[in-house]
Amino acid sequence: MDFSNLNTVWGCDGRDLTGNPCKNTTASGHGLYHCIFCVNHDFCKDCIKLLRDPEPAIEIPGCGAGHRWLRIPPLGGEMYVGSKAKSVRVPKEVKASKEDEMILDIHYAEGENDEITVTAWKKKLAAEWDISLEEIRKEAQQTASDSDDESEK
């Protein structure tokens, strides 16, 4: 798989059976399960099983077996088009997996209108969240400017 268009790689926050951090990442072809309660915890298939085991062989701190997770497919599939994409697929809905109600799956519309331009998508999200894209641009520019000023010191 070619990951050159991707500028973000997620890693598993779990532990192996010896207690060492899991080395599975999205760049190594692993899908992850993103906790919707913890927000900043992601687990590979093996570690999510360990986390949810009623009699765990190892404790995985920071997340709970009663939480729910969004299934994130492995990078490199058609879902990941990279940062230079002009259009993206927009999910139709997110719902519980048929096999496990604690796992949420993303479902896409099938047909002609399953893609939207990145610009239109940003505008749609900004409207849904009642935020200003212009304010975000200004803040990003200010942050970049502040970072440049710090690096010159």
pLDDT, mean of residues 79-98: 79
Reported as a pLDDT band with limits 50, 70 and 90, residue 1 is very low
Beta strands 115-117; 87-89: pairing state? antiparallel
Sign of the four-CA dihedral 9, 14, 16, 21: positive
Task: Supply the pLDDT for residue 70.
Answer: 94
In SS3 terms, 37-52 reads as CCCCCEECHHHHHHHH
- Is residue 29 within 8 A of residue 45, CB to CB? The reply is no
State yes or no: pLDDT of 31 exceeds 80.
yes
Cα separation, 46 vs 145, in Å, equals: 42
Task: Supply the pLDDT for residue 14.
Answer: 92
Task: Supply the pLDDT for residue 151.
Answer: 61
Task: Supply the pLDDT for residue 30.
Answer: 82
Cα separation, 10 vs 12, in Å, equals: 7
Reported as a pLDDT band with limits 50, 70 and 90, residue 62 is confident
pLDDT, mean of residues 113-140: 86
Name the CA radius of gyration of the chain, rounded: 19
State yes or no: pLDDT of 4 exceeds 60.
no
What's the whole-number average pLDDT of the chain?
82
Reported as a pLDDT band with limits 50, 70 and 90, residue 95 is very high
Domain ranges across the chain: 1-109, 114-153
User: Looking at the whole model, is its pTM more than 0.85?
Assistant: no
Cα separation, 22 vs 10, in Å, equals: 12
- What residue spans of 4-132 are helical by DSSP H? 45-52, 118-129
Measured in residues, the chain has a length of 153
